[in-house]
């Protein structure tokens, strides 16, 4: 990741464990900026993934979250008011 520079868009999919998902998110976050968007797949796949999603929503740098059931979308724009939305998709 150190050669990646700034990240505008990231898609996290894979391990499906709480600790791993949070770890991936925190690693990516180091290279993000206010206009970055992060998509996490399978946020409701397991209780651990649901916990990871809840923890990510509460992160200080996270401003707006969209829960689309199968996936979650995170916006980091600091000018936005902190909000979470659920869209039944």
Domain ranges for the chain, please list them: 9-76
Q: How far apart are CA 87 and CA 22, in angstroms?
A: 22
pTM above the 0.75 mark? yes
- Cβ distance 76 to 57 under 8 Å? no
Note the pLDDT of residue 88: 84
- Cβ distance 18 to 51 under 8 Å? yes
Over residues 5-21, the pLDDT tens digits come to 899 999 999 788 999 99
Helix (H, G, I), strand (E, B) or coil at 54: helix
- Cβ distance 71 to 43 under 8 Å? yes
pLDDT at 69 over 80: yes
Question: DSSP assignment, residue 13?
Answer: -
Question: DSSP assignment, residue 51?
Answer: H
Over residues 37-57, the pLDDT tens digits come to 999 999 999 999 999 999 999
What percent of the chain lies above the pLDDT cut of 70?
96
């Amino acid at each position: 990741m150190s050669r990646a520079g700034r990240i505008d868009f990231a898609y996290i999919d894979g391990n499906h464990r709480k600790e791993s998902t949070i770890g991936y998110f925190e690693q990516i976050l180091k290279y993000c900026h206010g206009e970055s968007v992060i998509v996490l797949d399978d946020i409701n796949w397991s209780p651990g993934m649901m916990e990871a999603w809840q923890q990510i929503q509460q992160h200080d740098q996270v401003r707006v979250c969209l829960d689309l059931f199968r996936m979650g979308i995170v916006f980091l724009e600091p000018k936005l008011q902190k909000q979470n939305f659920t869209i039944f998709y």
